[in-house]
Amino acid sequence: MSKKDSLQVDNQRLAEAWARTLPTVLNASDRAEVKADEAEANVIRVHLATAGRSNYSFDFKCTYVDSREVQVELIDVEREGTAVDERTDVIQTLVDDYVRHIHECAQQLHAFTHS
Count of structural domains, the chain: 1
Residue span of the structural domain in which 77 resides: 11-113
**Residue 61: how many CB atoms within 10 A of its CB?**
16
Bridge partner residues of 73 (DSSP): 61
How far, rounded to the nearest angstrom, does the alpha carbon of residue 48 sit from its chain's CA centroid? 8
Is residue 73 domain-resident? yes
E strands, the chain, in order: 31-36, 43-49, 56-64, 70-79, 82-83
What is the residue-level pLDDT of the chain in tens, covering all 115 positions?
A: 345 688 888 999 999 999 999 999 999 899 999 999 999 999 999 999 997 778 899 999 999 999 889 999 999 999 988 999 999 999 999 999 999 999 999 999 999 998 7
Query: Is residue 1 included in any domain, yes or no?
Result: no
For residue 3, being part of any structural domain is answered with no
Which value, in Å, is the radius of gyration of the alpha carbons in the chain? 14
Q: Quick check: is 76 in a domain?
A: yes
Residue 32, amino acid: A
In a domain, 82, yes or no: yes
